Structure 1
Amino acid sequence: MASIQPVPGWLRAPDDANALAPSVWPSSAHRDHDGRLVVGGVSAAELAERFGTPLYVVDESDARARAARMLAAFEAAAASVGTSVTVYYAGKAFLSGAIVRWVTEAGLGVDVCTGGELAVALAAGADPARIGFHGNNKSVAEIERAVEAGVGTIVIDSEIEIDRVADAAARAGRVQGVRLRVNSGVHASTHEFLATAHEDQKFGVTLERAVEIGTRIRGFDSLDLVGLHCHIGSQIFDSAGFAESAERLLVAHAELARLAPLPELNLGGGFGIAYPSADEPAPIEQIALGIATAVADGCRDHGVPVPKLAFEPGRAIIGPAGVTLYTVGTVKPVPLDGGPWRHYVSVDGGMSDNIRTALYGADYTVRLAGRVSDETPSLVRVAGKHCESGDIVVDADYLPHDVGPGDLVAVAATGAYCWSLANNYNHVPRRPVVAVRDGMARVIVHGETEDDLLSRDAELAASGSSIETESPERSDTSDAAGGAPA
């Protein structure tokens, strides 16, 4: 839901409503001599002209660099306590063939949680042995497909899945590596719907039964229990929650490790990013070292070797690399009780391309993308075009007072969970994703047209109904302006 406060306590009127906070925008983001936003060497105005709006834009170099930094941070932290690490990219944040290629080339594995995500990862060339398969309700068919493909680890999320995975592995003549997902009881300091380690929720098994269930897994010749797994939530800014969760998990880990080798401990992901500049997540190097140190201390206390570590970051890699471009349609000033006027800036997208604000009350940053202005900053709420009062993209920020119809605006940090959660509410076609790098742009996910929507309506398709539509993205068949990025 949108905030009920006219101005959130963290929001301050900026001295310059054109400024781009480095913590929020892709590393390449800047303004050219005409004041236009440039990402990956391509101006927002050029992107909007070529591909239309709304438009998802991903800075390829930024995403690759964040993946490499994430791996380096955890490798250094693991080495400091005498162990090693595997880092998986959490595909649910945003998965496509290009993204799989970027993260695997950076040295990461891929974490998937449905048959569809598994299909994308495999089709994009991910090494099956470096894929982890999550999910609280994996179908038998999905489990069989994962086993047959040679997926490295399947996360056991319930007792029922033990038999399903064991049977599939036995039929395939394989010994399948598995992890057991455990609820540590640690509540991450995040939105209620994003905290996933507390007991009353759908994921995993209770900590009290971890040893019992782990022992049962070991009773199957077709299963190899490689370690315990826990995920405490999302958008976490420091290592404290991870450290507490690790301390609790190590009680069960140590007991299982004394019975038979248990080589790994997977502490999940959920590392936070800055959405508005008021967000201040700790550097990932600091978080990684804090977690590794906590694990090493716990292992020393329990008298067991430090296990190999594993993590599953997603948002922290792809989130800051993404920007969404919109075109303003209307601007409506609304007086607020006891406060300033708020300008409702309505854009040509909304909860069909970014539903996180409606779902979680997520905060975002917005800036003019096609120009700069010396006008006084005005409080704005960026609203979508959908027939829903909760259709808000940016709950509260400041734009120059002269923002008006036809202006191009950009919303930062939309690389994670925006395209992944995109939908066709009000029969709005989903929008394309364009990767930018070194002054070139290319479509990495095609958008939809209204004809695409009609083609899925069985009655309309049978009658041959169609309309004449041509989106800017579909009409541009070239892979990139000036050539495809490397």
Structure 2
Amino acid sequence: MDFVMSCLSVGENGNLSIGGCDVAALAEEYGTPAYIMDEDQIRENCRVYNRAMQEYYGGNGIVLYASKALSCKYIYRMMKEENMGIDVVSGGEMYTALKAGFPAERIYFHGNNKTDDELKMALENGVGRIVVDNVFELESLNRLSGEMGKTADILFRIKPGIDAHTHSFIRTGQIDSKFGVSLENGEAENIIKMADDMENLNVVGVHCHIGSQIFELEPFELAAEKMMTFIADLKDKYDISIKELNLGGGYGIKYTEGDTPIDYDKYIQAVSKVVRRISEERGIPLPYIVMEPGRSITAETGLTVYRVGAVKEIPGVRTYISVDGGMGDNPRYILYQSEYEAVRVNNPLAEKTVTATLAGKCCESGDILIKDAKLPEIKVGDLVAVLATGAYNYSMASNYNRIPRLPIVMVSGGKSRLAVKRESYDDLIANDL
């Protein structure tokens, strides 16, 4: 049996190991529940993307880490060291990155409802690109840039009309989406013409993102074709030159044995052929290519370790195994009915003879981590690891029921260190008056 995470193994003592560290020992040292992540694997994932950018686009582009997947100072410092750019979607993410010393010129600022204060922060700090979502933001940004004596380099978020085969909550490329402006109804063309006449803005590029957790090549190829055709049409019709094409992210990862992701560099190779073909056919320069992987950088590098506090068998109905975490540290089941796999930390390759629901401790019936999980026999006090939790777990975590948020433990070369400390009860009331 292979684990869904390549950085996992079984140690000499029979326990689950991540990055050369015994998970049971880490649980003893840092407590449970806790996020544990393999730093070396995160760095290698960044290098896979950078190598692919070099191979298929001759280095004419940049790979951005979509930091909404996991945002903390430690991650931003890693991204700086790995020569990545980042995208941020809020003032808080931007502030964290800047405080971590991340170069502002390699930050792309996204969001469908940026506030004036957030736009001012971006302008004051010299953020590299602002990805404009709508006409109201466009007008605000032009006004603020003028008041501050700045010229903002902008991209536009475009809806290319691609309906990716994924959960409805994470499809973003179709016309019925809160994000961006549409190709289909002429909205995208009109807003770019408007921006081209604004004194304080420099239209640099266009952006699209069709969704997340996508396992097919075709939607990405089709999106690239539509975007390149749009760039060529803008040049032919209005002599507007678009120098950057941001193709977003959304590459699927392996949460369960049933998931079949494509190697990330294969996505990039396939899309590069489309970009080059249309560039030649329409006689336009090859644009500077931007990509935004997030989940695929961190998800399969992390697990969450829990301790079992109760095993409740309801004869003829269901067995509940309750752990010391839940929807506060992983809300993805209650949001999307997301599927995960779990293993017992002691002897993780033991035969899975039990069907049980892994439940959290929150006072909420929907607080489930895995419904009808296949597990070995589990008893009170056992450690259980839920796999592939390195994206959209910490970043979406809450203090529901006033439960402190978890620490993030990074492992590298058989050693561990804290990236984010565990919250205390004092942290919970720090802002209470």
Q: Give the letter aligned to residue 101 of structure 2.
A: G
- Residue 288, structure 1, aligned to residue 268, structure 2: yes
1:68–1:107 Cα contact (<8 Å) kept: no
1:127 CA drift (Å): 1.0
Alignment-derived partner of residue 231 in structure 1: 209
Q: Residue type of the partner of 1:34?
A: N
Partner residue in 2 for 1:34:
13
Contact preservation (8 Å) 1:44, 1:370:
no
CA deviation after TM superposition for structure 1 residue 376, in Å:
5.3
* Matched residue, 2:168: 192
Q: Does 1:304 align with 2:280?
A: no
- Counterpart position of 2:313: 333
For 1:38, what is the secondary structure of its paired residue? strand
Instruction: Provide the residue aligned with 2:293 in structure 1.
Output: 313
SS of residue paired to 1:409: strand
| Cα offsets for 1:190-217 (capped at 9, x unmatched) | 0000001111221101112212211111
SS in 2 for 1:309: strand
CA distance in 1 between partners of 2:390 and 2:350 (Å): 29
Partner of residue 403, structure 1: 378
Deviation at 1:374, TM superposition (A): 4.9
Read off the aligned partner of 2:375 and give its amino acid letter.
Answer: L
CA distance in 1, matches of 2:154, 2:313: 56
**Residue number among 122, 127, 139 corresponding to 1:151 in the alignment:** 127
User: 2:157–2:181: 8 Å Cα contact kept in structure 1?
Assistant: yes
Provide the TM-score with structure 2 as the length reference.
0.95
- Equivalent position SS for 1:364: coil
SS of 1:166's equivalent? helix
* Shift in Å, 1:53: 0.6
The secondary structure found in structure 1 opposite 2:176 is coil
Q: Please give the secondary structure, in 1, of the residue aligned with 2:429.
A: helix
**C-alpha spacing 1:373/1:321, structure 2 compared with 1 (3 Å):** closer
Q: Out of 49, 68, 75, which is 1:70 matched to?
A: 49
Q: What secondary structure, in the 3-state scheme, does the structure 2 residue paired with 1:395 have? A: strand
Residue aligning to 2:97? 121
Whole-angstrom distance in 2 between the partners of 1:260 and 1:293: 24
Q: 1:335 to 1:305 in 2, by over 3 A?
A: farther
Q: Deviations over 1:105-159 (max 9, x none)?
A: 1111010010000001111111111100001111111101101101110011000
Q: CA deviation at 1:171?
A: 2.7
Structure 1 position 276, deviation (Å): 0.5
Question: Cα offset for 1:20?
Answer: 4.2
Q: Which residue of 2 aligns with 1:480?
A: none
The code of the aligned residue for 1:447 comes to R
> d(CA) in 2 for partners of 1:144 and 1:375?
57
How many residues are matched? 429
| Secondary structure of the corresponding residue to residue 56 of structure 1 | strand
1:93: Cα distance to partner?
Answer: 0.2
Aligned to 1:272: 252
Deviation at 1:301, TM superposition (A): 3.5
Q: Is the 8 A contact 2:303 2:389 kept in 1?
A: yes
- Alignment match, 1:47: 26
Alpha-carbon contact 2:16-2:348 (below 8 Å) kept? no
Question: What amino acid does structure 2 have at the position aligned with 1:48?
Answer: A
- After superposition, what is the alpha-carbon deviation per residue over 1:63-113, rounded to whole angstroms, capped at 9, x for unaligned? 11111112212332223xxx7121110010001111011122111101001
Distance 1:320 1:427, change over 3 A: same
Residues 209, 187 of structure 1: alpha-carbon distance in 2 compared, 3 angstrom cutoff: same
Change (3 A) 1:164 1:324: same
Q: Identity, % of aligned pairs?
A: 40
- 1:448 deviates by 1.2
CA distance in 2, matches of 1:140, 1:166: 11
**Aligned-pair distance for 1:372?**
4.8
| Aligned-partner residue type, residue 126 of structure 1 | F
- Pairing partner for 2:363 from 362, 382, 387: 387
Contact 2:352 2:374 in 1 (8 A): no
C-alpha separation in 2, matches of 1:62 and 1:126: 21
- The question of 1:437 aligning with 2:412 is answered yes
- SS of the counterpart of 1:363? coil
Cα deviation for residue 52 of structure 1 reads 0.9
- Give distance in 1, aligned partners of 2:161 and 2:307: 44
What is the alpha-carbon distance in structure 2 between the residues aligned to residue 44 and residue 238 of structure 1?
34
Q: Is it true that 1:91 corresponds to 2:67 in the alignment?
A: yes
What do you get for the CA RMSD once the two structures are aligned?
1.7
Alpha carbons 1:196, 1:233 under 8 Å: kept? yes
More divergent stretch after superposition (410-419 vs 254-263): 254-263
Q: Which residue of 2 aligns with 1:56?
A: 35
| 1:364–1:395 contact (8 Å) kept in structure 2 | no
Following superposition, the deviation at residue 373 of structure 1 comes to 7.3
Question: Residue 392 of structure 2 aligns to a residue in which SS?
Answer: coil
User: Does structure 2 retain, via aligned residues, the 8 Å contact 1:210–1:252?
Assistant: no
1:455 aligned counterpart, secondary structure = coil
What is the aligned partner in structure 2 of residue 461 from structure 1?
none
- How far is 1:245 from its partner? 1.4
How far residue 221 of structure 1 moved from its aligned partner, in angstroms, is 2.4
Change in 2 beyond 3 A, CA 1:403/1:161: same
What is the DSSP-based 3-state SS (H/G/I as helix, E as strand, rest coil) of the residue aligned with 1:324?
Answer: strand
Q: Taking structure 1 as the reference length, what is the TM-score of the superposition?
A: 0.85
When residues 160 and 376 of structure 1 are mapped into structure 2, their CA distance, relative to the original with a 3 A threshold, is closer
Deviations 1:308-332 (A, max 9, x none): 2111110000111111000011122
Q: Which runs of 5+ in 1 are unaligned?
A: 1-18, 459-486
